[in-house]
Amino acid sequence: MGPYQFAGGTAVVTGAASGIGEALAVQLAARGSHVVLVDRDKDRLGDVADRIRAAHPGLTLATHVAELSDDEQTAALAATLVAEHPETTLLVNNAGVALGGRLDQVSLEDFDWVMAVNFRAVVRLTHALLPVLKAHPGSHLVNVSSVFGIFAPAGQAAYSASKFAVRGFSEAVRHELADNGVGVTVVHPGGIRTRIAESARTGAGVSAEEYEQGREQFAKLLTMPPETAAAMIVTAIEKRRPRLLIGWSAKVPDVLVRLMPGSYWKLIARRAAPPKPPAS
């Protein structure tokens, strides 16, 4: 399979109103792709679309507002994308949400909310657009997992479950599409400065102290600009890379899990623990 051709193709990007999705939309348009942008935030999505239209007036651009945690809205979106954008050659399932708290601290409703956005929407949109992608040999599919799709930290049962699911789903679909001229890349970002922390939920059983400690530790990891991550994803698409690890915070855990598959958490937890106060 040769390099992916951006110019003249049409890319569908979910979670396009901010973060990696926004940066991807901008960079794909700069490569000559027509873009179809999806997000639940109508105002932010409109701002992104306006900037791209101003910079690339010759490209076709469409926006769709949808809440991917709502299965009915996701199903309607999938049908609309197939009907209105049969020329699609690239699907980027980027939208995601987070939930903090141990399994006994979160509700099943919140757990299902994470799975709906992070996994079920990925499956539903991919399933709907597969015939479209297969109709255009040379097309490509990108599913954004996470470093938490490589290792599973305590307090992230729902998020890790969703991102491990994306990883397994993507690998199976890659093998299924190998003879159809459609490439598949699964992306594992590490610490990228996005708005996912702002939209994250916290389990009702999480104390204020636990929440603040977790927020501070999480914030320390969010160092890479989304534009840098997006550029790496664009390169991975062009080169048909099956797997992309973004940043040291994804590459180091990947090695650690390979070396210590059953005991990596002991080492990670020890390094992540706050320092103890000196003895008096």
Report the alpha-carbon angle 166-170-171, nearest 5. 120
* Residue indicated by tokens 């491990």: 164
**CA–CA dist 64, 200 (Å, integer):** 22
Alpha-carbon span 258 to 271, nearest angstrom: 18
Of 4, 159, 211, 264, catalytic: 159
Helix axes 19-30, 226-238, angle to 10 degrees: 50
Other Cβ atoms within 10 Å of 134 Cβ, number? 13
DSSP one-letter code for 275:
P
Told to judge if 264 belongs to the known catalytic residues of this protein, a careful annotator would answer: no
Pick from 247, 238, 228: which is nearest to 90 by CA? 238
Number of helical H runs and strand E runs in the chain: 11, 9
Biggest CA pair distance of the chain: 71
Enumerate the active-site residues: 159
